[in-house]
Structure 1
Amino acid sequence: MIQLLPLMLERVGIIVIIAFLLSQIKSFRQIVQNDLGLKGKWLLAAFFGAFSIISNYTGIEIKQNALIDNTWLMEVGPDNAIANTRIMVVGIGGLLGGPVVGLGVGVIAGIHRYTLGGFTAGACALSSILAGIAAGYIGKKYKKKRIITPLFAVGVGMTLETVQMMIILAFTKPFEKAWALVEIIGVPMIVINGLGILIFMFIIQSILREEERTRALQTHNAFMIADRTLPFFRRGLNEDSCMEVAKIMLQLTEADAVAITNEHRVLAHIGAGSDHHIPGQAFATGLTKKVLNQGKIMTTRKREEIFCFQDDCPLQAAVVLPLKVHQKTAGTLKMYFKHPEKLDKVEQELAEGLAKLFSTQLELADAELQSRLLKDAEIKALQAQIHPHFFFNSINTISALCRTDIEKARKLLVELSIFFRSNLQGARQMVIPLEKELEYVKAYLSLEQARFPHKYQVSFRIEPGVEKVLIPPFTLQPLVENAINHAFAQIKEGGIVDIHICKESENIHITVEDNGKGITLEELEPIGKQTIHSSKGTGTAIYNISKRLEGIYNKEAALHIHSTSNEGTKIEMVIPLKRSR
């Protein structure tokens, strides 16, 4: 038994070679990751079956309880037996591939072992088939719950080898001869096969870790590229943005050239071949046209299939991917290589992932553009709602003054023209200088005070230097109008409106405070949150302001209302000095 151990260790070296060879085969990597179909599993069964045959051929012949150290065992004498690593190969195949692979390997190994002969041929053949089936079902069941660990695989392999010893004892005659054989080969085969499975599974784990590292690196690169290109793709597909994206990709990938196109022309080309792949011109390669027409990823490692019109073009391989916006191909992303071997699986998968990310970024940019256009349209509509009734009141006032005070009527017509000129200018702009809004407010007050000369007084406290600060149009004036129409509705004189504007930190604070009748708590609750139907339109104006501040500043601005019944109202706007976009 002791003499058998070093000889079996030599045979285990074969398993290490098998594991190394398998680690270089794509189909084996796929089976480890559960990516292989039925056809692939049968191929893997044939593969492991071939190595189980090698295991039989390299076995150690046992003759009358003595070892025959042959190098290649082609036939076993009728009274002899062999010690080998067959069950180990069958067990590994079943654990990794499941019942289909396990059964296939077991049948191949068992039949071949039976053809070699020997007084244990039948028992060994039966144990091979049963070991394959058992390992396959154990592997299938265990993989559903967790990853098969090396120690678990060792336990399964040693158990299968122990069962083989029991089958030899049960089905081999005479029993005394079988028992003498098991005494010699039992412990060495159980221990050495367990050691072989351990080494094999460690190699499998290294394959898995390598795959995980590769995918993690690939994912990291993809997200890094996506993060750095997002600001440019938000501008859409144009020459400036695509040129920046192409520079980033050339820096962070193994490509020798990167190009981006829209449906009609090259928008950017950085790297090799840039002397004839010129942005702004028509496509230099027929492969791009095929991708645009079919909307599918195309890869080539032959210069002829790129279809470049330049005979001395250095680009020898390419992967061309469609950039899609709402399921429509809007352009292409192209990665070119001078040497075909550089276009490996990692680079191809990275390109495919980036194409999907870029397509998503373009869709988001398009959605953001549509959202902004809609928001702008809503803001214009809200602005157009302001003060249609004011025009008629002013005309009536001026009409009456034409009979009594022509000069004042003339001045009010000038103020009215200033008011509506500011109205028209504001309707075309998202923000205007504060001084323009103040001009608008003063024109409004001139027209209103002509109607009610003693009803109220308005004071301005404007911090020097804020006149050029940009604010949304039609924000201050409606607040002043609310104070006049609502706060002083029941009085004839003595009203005070205080307008205070100053900078604080990174914001401008605009406060309109009156000493009017105030607002009850019940009335105050919905103001600014919804439109309120009233004869004066108070709630609608403040709601419009609130919506416009929200739309323009993305909730960075604020509008606060403080009021006590019969004590007055204070409305404060806080507007960022800089817009977030």
Structure 2
Amino acid sequence: MFCLHHVLVQKNKGWVKMLNLTALMLEKVGIIVIVAYLLSQMKSFRHIIQAKHNTNERILLILLFGAFGIISNYTGVEVHYNSINRATWLSELEHESALANTRVMGVVIGGLLGGPIVGVGAGLVAGVHRYTLGGFTAFSCGISTILAGIIAGYFGQKRKQMGKQITAGFAVMIGMIMESVQMLLILVMAKPIEQAWSLVQFISFPMIFGSGLGTLLFMFIIKAIKRDKELTRANQTNQAFLIADQTLPYFRQGLNINSCREIAEIMLKLTDADAVSITDDHQVLAHVGAASDHHIPKSKPETGLTKKVLEGGRISIARSKKEILCVYKSCPLEAAIVLPLKVKNKIVGTLKMYYTEPEKLDKVQQELAEGLANLFSTQLELAEAERQTKLLKDAEIKALQAQIHPHFLFNSINTISALCRTDADKARKLLLELSSFFRGNLQGARQMLLPLENELANVRAYLSLEQTRFPNKYIVDFQIEQGLEKVLIPPFTLQPLVENAIHYGFPRSKSEGRITIRIFSENNQLQIIVEDNGKGIPEERIQVLGKQTVISKKGNGTAIFNINERLKGIYNGKACLTLKSKVDHGTTVTISIPLDNKGVVDQSV
């Protein structure tokens, strides 16, 4: 009975000691995590925590994570015959003592982030230092530390090659496995075996648990660094969208060597790309940045990736030098996104953003590139439209085109860029709406009549952008008679009326405004009615609207005048526009168009 009681007491003492050791290990983990957190606030540390590194950065990583191992050695817990030495700084161990610490944790993280070279280097630094401290497990612990660096580096590199990220869960799993391997090596190498077995029983749980928790916290810090970097890039997206404004004058010149070089220079300055290139459908027009020695203007595209995009018309992304298919083996470009530039759905060239490190081509850069390609395609179509307008005979069309204010484009771009930080999916949808809106305007500039459904699509695209900028300011009610979708009407008939209702009807209204769009047939006439409950128009102003241009704070009041004049010219006086309004009660604009179009004057261009 006494023997049983003695055994139970000894077991309880053993558990208490193990719990004490676990608590001490967590304390040591805290030291390493605090050091890591403090370092994470340094810009230089954030810079070297990247997925790919040059030789100098690898050396810095080896020294950094090796230093974590050395700190772990010095601040470890000395274990002597299952008793704990609470010394705070260890410079030497007794021959029969062992060391419980978090040395393997830093080596494993270094290997996962920096690859085999960093893993081996950090393992050697920490492992050799552990060996010099002595103790009966010195050799086995030194070997296990080096082995941990090799294995972590190998698996980290393999995971990256597979295109997967080093997640916190993956890092914790590798760290705990490496601690388990260390326990196994102690059993195999340390002598005497009885003492080694007793030690492993005592320290295995505290070290494996402490290493796992420490790795988890360390990886959270690393992820926070990378997340902060992505947020910083998202915040810079607004500045990048200035590209649209700054490049517009050059796109008006068309795709040529001089204009494309200016465009590429602007993009290189405002994005994280290491090189920017623009081609037409058969040659390089501009290439600035890395690899300029062999990506030369006036030459044929050097990469098979560009040829693939020109032929297929689809966005292509490469995350390795092999995928880029550059004929120059020494080309420093290792990642790229190539996007088609289109005019009227015809591929006229490509926009290419290159990176010397694949990790730079992240989701933020990809979405930015896709958005810029859409904007550039729109700008090219705008440039083509400007050239076409010189041939248009319809003066009213020209006047209406001049009324498409650049402020709408810039305001829309600012709205989209702000959404990139909070709702990337919605930003992408709005970018497509913006592209759709301007394509609708371009289509209208080249046609005297177009289907009603096209005009409605243009209105809806416009409203999507406006309602995002001013949510809950007004609601729009569409009441469209079925079967009228294919009826031909003059372009820019409905959208300017809706725009007027928005900007002039509810300038500072605190209550929710309402705009009703009714389209129906009556007495062989197409009736288009745009009604709002806004502030209304004074009687004296109604007398001149539609009869002449009217000066206003937001424009020159040409919209209604141009619509009215074009209706008269196109339908030979058989179509009309009427306007009714009452101050503080709203405005109603009605357009009547003959459904048979027999009165249409031939104005083909």
| TM bracket, shorter-chain basis | 0.3 to 0.5
Q: Which has the larger radius of gyration?
A: 1
The alignment's TM-score, normalised by the length of structure 2, stands at 0.44
